[in-house]
Structure 1
Amino acid sequence: MSIRRRTWTTSKGEERSAWMVDYTDQNGKRRAKSFRLKKDAEAFALTAGVEVREGVHVADRETVTVAEAGKLWISSGTAAGLERTTLDQRRQHLELHLTPFLGAVRLNKLTVPAVRAFQDDLREAGRSAAMVARVTVSLGSILSDAQERGLVVRNAVHEMKSRRKGKNAAQGRHRARLRYGVDIPTREEVRAIVGASQGRSRPLLLTAVFTGLRSSELRGLPWSAVDLDRGTLDVIQRADRYQTVGMPKSDAGHRTIPLPPLVINALRRWKLACPKGKLDLVFPNGAGNLEYHANIIKRVYHPAQIEAGVTVEERGAEGETVLKAKYTGLHALRHWYASWCINRKADGGLELSPKQVQARMGHSSITVTYDTYGHLFPATDETEALAAAEHALLAADAT
């Protein structure tokens, strides 16, 4: 590794100079890189020397652009058998957000300041804070894939996250909590929805309320996974947005959920009238095939809320008052089920432990359970426990 000053004369007779770094990479190939300032050449020589010794150095000519790395990233996901929805999201992030702003940038030019500037550009272009965060995660994933391919040394996204770990922790502590009557239906609202549900809507809503299944799990639920004699339901598959039935997204998604008598009785009656189809689904459409998520929302969930009086007022196109369903997404019932599992028996809940709640919800880790529902767990009054421990300690000393 050597640093030298090179001078030359242009075709116009102008004298120019630059600082050159000559070195041999880990593969024995001669390399050279020029810099305007000596301090920049020295900094590069120091960093490159370490990278060459560790066998990870990537010369400028050996790297690729973000757009090229993105295509390799999608190919990696396809080869790994990622779900169609995940691959579609990768393509959307690459085509709509990454390539327009960073497509021509080489990976070795992506520093922490460059990533921050990219985020600022996304915000100025009208991307939401949530979208900026998701696209940044995708960029970090692209860089990780490129690192494994030997196309880049640094992952600026991961470096940025490491520097901001303390700030992110503080933001996590102030994350908005789920609230009853806003994100989680109240007990009175759930009672009204259950009371207002009728016909083929009733078994589906009861199952959603008292099992906490995701919409995809409800839509993909087969009768073979429901044991009405034992009073249990096994989550063994789900239906994605493309009407494709597949395995749950994680091992934790496979779970067994006990059913209360109200649900068992409703499902017994429904099984006699349920449309038959090749997939033998519990909640199919009228032809016995997979039902669309949007149809469940528009034809079952929202009408049941309106019938139950669980509504909000909105202004119509003509300025008139219109009553609409208060909770737009079916996930609100999943939140309610989690709260029912957590609440004390004295308050009408099941009073399950955090690990039991994690298992019922199909969360991949207890951290997900605590981050989402930790504030719902009842606080423990330690006064009596401390007094008993104090007494035991002093009594032992006295003897």
Structure 2
Amino acid sequence: MAKIMIGRYEGSIYREGDGWTGAISLGFGPDGKRKRLKRKGRTKTEVKDKLRQAVEDLDKGVKPDHRYSVTDAVNDFLAAFDKTGRSPNTESVYRSLADHHLIPFIGRIRLKDLTADDVETWLNGRTQHLTSSSLGILHGLLKRSIRRAARHDKVARNVAELVDTPEGKPARKSRSLTLEQANAVLAEAAKSEHRLGAYVILAIVTGLRTEELRKLTWSAVDLDSATLYVLRAERHRGETKTPLSRRGLGIATLGVEALRALKARQAAEKLKAGEAYEDHDLVFCDERGAPYTAHQVRRRFRKILDAAGLNGADWVPRELRHTFVSLMSDHGVPVEKISVLVGHKTTKITETVYRHQIRPEIRDGAEHMNKIFPSKTVKSA
């Protein structure tokens, strides 16, 4: 049995079974019994390193739970995150990333045993599956989870902070429909079998964000004056993305026609559903008045594009906003005017995000869309 000193503590390392056991004396407890801290390992060196770490944790007030895993740390962080009042959408993104890209790979590792090498290897393994942006969110989730665990004395240091986030796969670049494609989509969307048709039409002729469309209410729409008011985007606690997100917009004739048809359809559905109808005053909702989820919007949107002769799986709803910008720019509307119409704080945002859709010079809102898509060019089925 070899006597050792670990910091100010006296201990010993001895052979036990197929490995080694180390123990240090922590004095005596209130009951008069001797208190000892033990660690096991395959070699003396491994045991000594574990004892040093244990003493370091002890001196820092850390009380590691040997069963506490990376999964526990992440779940505890997300449970606490839910109580902070932050956006449920953000929590949903974190949860999805954790469940699909973190927990299945390093979740079973005990937090006290997690190393920077473990984190680096895991992140590098995700580079072919996630974009750089998503990798940054994922890495940040782990760092914040361990930081919280350290704050609760579960671990001494945050090894995730020691690792740089690698580059992920290239992000998918947003595109816009051509004028010919947009006409085909508008014609298809005007058909009565497409419940989301008015949504698609309004997205193209107004450039509203997907979250603005999903939250749009009838009280914010004046069909007689062909105007709608964007009061808030789907931000937590009703906050808008930018101050200019609160704006009034003219609605092109195509949009007005689609909204009138939708309003009549909803009135019939409301009458049929009776008390079962959930009246949230939403412009876009299901047959019972319930708001659409993002998944429902994507599924119905792709169905319309498939029917219009495009591959719906290749497109996402937000690209209708890109289409608005591209068509307005092609039609001669200056970037300054487009920036106001889409609710950007500055033209720099418009030029940066939609740079591949901006053309040199231009003129105005709803009247331009009427020129691009004369009402007679789109016929309902």
Q: Work out whether 1:348 is the aligned partner of 2:331.
A: yes
1:25 alignment counterpart: none
Deviation at 1:238, TM superposition (A): 4.7
Match of 2:217 in 1: 222
Alignment match, 2:280: 279
How far does the alpha carbon of each residue in 1:233-277 deviate from its partner, in whole angstroms, 9 at most, with x for none? Answer: 3143659xxxxxx85576439532523433564266337624135
> What secondary structure does 1:275 align onto?
helix
Task: Select the structure with the greater relative contact order (CA < 8 A; seq sep ≥ 6).
Answer: 2
The match for 1:178 is 173
Q: Which residue of 2 aligns with 1:187?
A: 179
Q: Which amino acid aligns with 2:215?
A: G
Q: Is 1:116 aligned with 2:120?
A: yes
* Alignment check: 8 A CA contact 1:58 1:151 kept: yes
TM-superposed deviation, 1:155 = 3.1
SS at match of 1:232: strand
8 Å contact 1:302–1:328 — kept in the other structure? no
Indicate the residue corresponding to 1:314 in structure 2: none
Distance 1:111 1:349, change over 3 A: farther
Question: Is 1:331 paired with 2:284?
Answer: no
Gaps of 5+ in 2: 1-5, 27-34, 271-278, 362-381
Deviation at 1:330, TM superposition (A): 1.9
Q: Return the match for 1:75 from 53, 58, 79.
A: 79
Q: For the residues of structure 2 that align with 1:366 and 1:115, how far apart are their CA atoms? A: 40
What SS class does the counterpart of residue 143 from structure 1 fall into? Answer: helix
Q: Is 2:349 aligned against 1:360?
A: no
Q: Please give the secondary structure, in 2, of the residue aligned with 1:79.
A: coil
Flag the 1:100–1:15 CA change in 2: closer, same or farther, 3 A.
closer
Q: Cα offset for 1:98?
A: 3.9
The one of 341, 354, 362 aligned to 1:373: 354
Partner SS, residue 284 of structure 1: coil
Q: Tell me which residue corresponds to 2:230.
A: 234
The one-letter code matched in structure 2 to 1:2 is G
* Aligned 8 A contact 2:226 2:256 in 1: no
Deviation at 1:221, TM superposition (A): 1.6
C-alpha deviation, 1:130, in angstroms: 4.9
Q: Which amino acid aligns with 2:141?
A: S
CA distance in 2, matches of 1:291, 1:9: 66
Amino acid at match of 1:143: I
Q: CA deviation at 1:61?
A: 5.5
Write the mapping of 1:375-390 to structure 2, written as runs, cut at 5 A.
Answer: 375-377=356-358
> Using the alignment, how far apart are the partners of 2:74 and 2:204 within structure 1?
41
The structural deviation recorded for 1:225 is 1.8
- Give 2:373's aligned residue: none
Identity %: 19
* Separation in structure 1 between the aligned mates of residue 21 and residue 290 of structure 2, nearest angstrom: 74
How far is the alpha carbon of 1:284 from its aligned partner? Answer: 3.2
Q: Is the 8 A contact 1:236 1:247 kept in 2?
A: no
Partner of 1:160: 163
Cα distance between partner residues in 1 of 2:110 and 2:339: 46
Contact 1:232–1:259 (8 Å) recurs in 2? yes
Partners of 1:288 and 1:9 in 2: how far apart? 72
CA–CA distance in structure 2, aligned partners of residues 371 and 21 of structure 1: 64
| Cα distance change on mapping 1:300 and 1:98 into 2, 3 Å | closer
Distance 2:333 2:38 in 1: 67
Indicate if the aligned counterparts of 1:58 and 1:150 stay in contact, CA closer than 8 A: yes
Contact 1:256–1:360 (CA under 8 A) maintained in structure 2: no
Q: Aligned to 1:185, what secondary structure does the other structure show?
A: coil
2:307 maps to what in 1?
306
Tell me if structure 1 keeps the 8 A contact 2:131–2:171: no
SS for the counterpart of 2:266 is coil
1:294–1:105 distance in 2 versus 1, CA, 3 Å: closer
More displaced 10-residue stretch of structure 1: 370-379 or 281-290:
370-379
Q: Say whether residues 1:143 and 2:156 are aligned partners.
A: no
Confirm or deny: 8 A CA contact 2:23 2:36 kept in the other structure.
Answer: no
Q: Does 1:2 align with 2:22?
A: no
- In structure 2, the partner of 1:198 is 190
Distance of 1:338 and 1:20 partners within structure 2:
70
Give, in angstroms, the shift of residue 208 of structure 1: 0.8
Q: Which whole-Å CA distance do the structure 1 matches of 2:348 and 2:36 have between them?
A: 48
Q: Indicate how the Cα distance of structure 1 residues 178 and 19 shifts in structure 2: closer, same or farther if over 3 A, else same.
A: same
In structure 2, how many angstroms separate the alpha carbons of the residues matched to 1:138 and 1:350? 42
SS in 2 for 1:69: helix
Could you say if the C-alpha distance between residues 74 and 362 of structure 1 is closer, same or farther in structure 2, counting changes exceeding 3 Å? farther
SS at match of 2:342: helix
SS state of the match for residue 247, structure 2? strand
User: Under a length normalisation based on structure 2, what TM-score does the superposition of the two structures give?
Assistant: 0.61
Change (3 A) 1:109 1:10: closer
Give the C-alpha shift of residue 370 in structure 1.
6.5
Task: Decide whether the 8 Å contact of 1:252 with 1:362 is kept in 2.
Answer: yes
SS in structure 1 of the partner of residue 148 of structure 2: helix
* Equivalent pairs, count: 327
Go from structure 1 to structure 2 and tell me whether the alpha carbon gap of 1:262 and 1:327 turns closer, same or farther (over 3 Å shift).
farther
Give the Cα–Cα distance (whole angstroms) in 1 for the partners of residues 131 and 172 of structure 2: 17
Residue 379 of structure 2 corresponds to none
Range with bigger deviation, 94-103 or 206-215: 94-103
- Could you tell me how far 1:207 is from its partner in structure 2? 0.9
Task: Letter of the 2:81 partner, please give it.
Answer: G
Matched, 1:58 2:62: yes
> What secondary structure is seen at the aligned counterpart in 1 of 2:229?
strand
